[in-house]
Structure 1
Amino acid sequence: MEDECYMMNLEEFAENIIRDISNRTEGALHILKKNVVRNNNVKMTGITVVKEGSGIEPCVYLEEFFREYKSGGMKFDEVVDEVYRLIMKNKDDIPKVDVSFFLNWETVRDNIYAKLISAEQNKEQLGEMPHRIFLDLAVVYYAVARDSVGKEIGTVLIRNEHMEEWEQREEILYQTAMTNMRAEGEAELATIETVIKSIFPDNNLFLDDGGIQRNTEEYGNVYTDKPS
């Protein structure tokens, strides 16, 4: 049990959670800290359970738990209880994925897609991955991982080392992604308001309420796939 008068930093917080959960499981689970850089240079800290024979590692991100801990919303022991519960709940549900498909261009090419991210906010990561600039955005690429019955279970961001392994150029990657995306349906241009309302039809987020403007020009547009 941690001294409640002492406030840990995030690094100590993560290490102590790993220690306490490892003690609970008597070393039966291989638990590691994982630092992840996501879109727009958002850095996150998580703990992951490494399961032998699986190409997928579930990760519990700690930032929200750390905020609750700092604000007094959760005691440290309560955080450990909840993280432990999440790990035990999901540790046996990790799907088995044959990651060898990702090593061969001919087997991975049908699962490659593209997406747009901010070029400025991701300029550090862009040096590590194939991309092309479009206005103030960057086109980057990812591969969809599927289980044994073809169900999508995750994605893998394509990096420079993958291109070296496949011996492919960015132009080929772009053409492949465009072909795969067109095959899944005709694209349409829609406002962000339209997309959000299609997801949350009962949410009045964009209605005038004295604080949020209804003018959709303030929110921009988003490029989506039209359902087939």
Structure 2
Amino acid sequence: MEYNEFVEEIRCNVEANLNCDGEVRMLKIMRNNGCELDGLTIVRKGCPGSPTIYLNGYYNQFEAGRSIVSITREVLNTYESGREKLESMAGIFNDFEEIKKRVAYKLVNYEKNKELLQDVPHKRFMNLAVAFYCLIERESNYNATALIHNSHLGLWGVSESEIYSLARKNTPNLLPYRITRIDEVVDIPKDSCREDDMMYILTNDSGINGAASLLYDGVIDEFAERFAADVIVIPSSV
């Protein structure tokens, strides 16, 4: 079984064995050194957040003889464990002193998220929107986040501008940016890449919501100054 077939098989099996009303989604996640991971997450209505589970390592286990059934069971167990941890940590949403150090931002497509954006604090950024979330936990095989809604601002007694200020301060520290040549990520013949027309990928060290890195203070300016050239920015996967 090829890798892409394996990923689809796991997705279908997880979906078939869900004991709740949820939607299984697959995410392409760029990690360090140009490594692209396949993340599986389960979105449930009314659930504040969901862990993202990386499937790449499971394929090696499958090739070594582990069954699809066993892997599916572990993925579901990992999801449940992460979900329970998110729910158990729901109490921290009442403690703004604990929350404020976890506030981060991400970029989303404005048109495709109009309905969602009615219920969450956000700032327009050209044809995109800056939305806010709490980075609850980062582990080797999943990330746990929770989107910040308008109701949270009322609970905490803070304004959208205060949340933005926190996210602007926190996000570069929680998720440092990295810039990689495209030929280190995509299989492009080295002799066809010239330095003066090279494309670069800007993301963060988790590879999740990496487009938000272009909002970090000074990142684009410093990159342009490094090459003494204008920069064209093309947000991807937003």
Please give the TM-score of this superposition, normalised by the length of structure 1.
0.49
Structure number with bigger Rg:
1
TM-score computed with the length of structure 2 as normaliser: 0.47
Higher helix share: 2
